[in-house]
Amino acid sequence: MGSTVLSLRIDGELLDRLRQHAAKRGMSVQDYVVRTLIRDDFDERFKSAVDETEKFYGPQAEQGPVDRIT
């Protein structure tokens, strides 16, 4: 997998906040932004997978686990 340049124009105040968040994690702003995008992409794909599972299994999936008496 190669890399590509993405150039952003952002507000100075936002950049300062990004720098602070990145510094708390010992990261560069670039790494912090990339990780945030990757995490957001994963969350979105995970939600889609959950939605598809609920469609497949129907209303039963929404009821949760069934208590069984043994």
Q: Tell me whether residue 11 is in a domain.
A: no
In a domain, 36, yes or no: yes
Determine which helix (DSSP H) or strand (DSSP E) holds 32, and give its type and residue range.
helix 29-57
Per-residue pLDDT in tens (0 to 9) along the chain, 70 residues: 688 888 889 999 999 999 999 999 999 999 999 899 888 888 888 888 888 888 888 755 455 555 656 5
Q: Looking at residue 62, what is its pLDDT?
A: 54
What is the reported pLDDT for 50? 83
d(CA 67, CA 29): 48
For residue 66, is it within any domain?
no
Q: Specify the pLDDT at position 14.
A: 94
| Domain assignment of residue 24, given as a range | 17-56
Q: Are 29 and 19 in contact (CB under 8 A)?
A: yes
pTM: 0.60
DSSP designation for 15: H
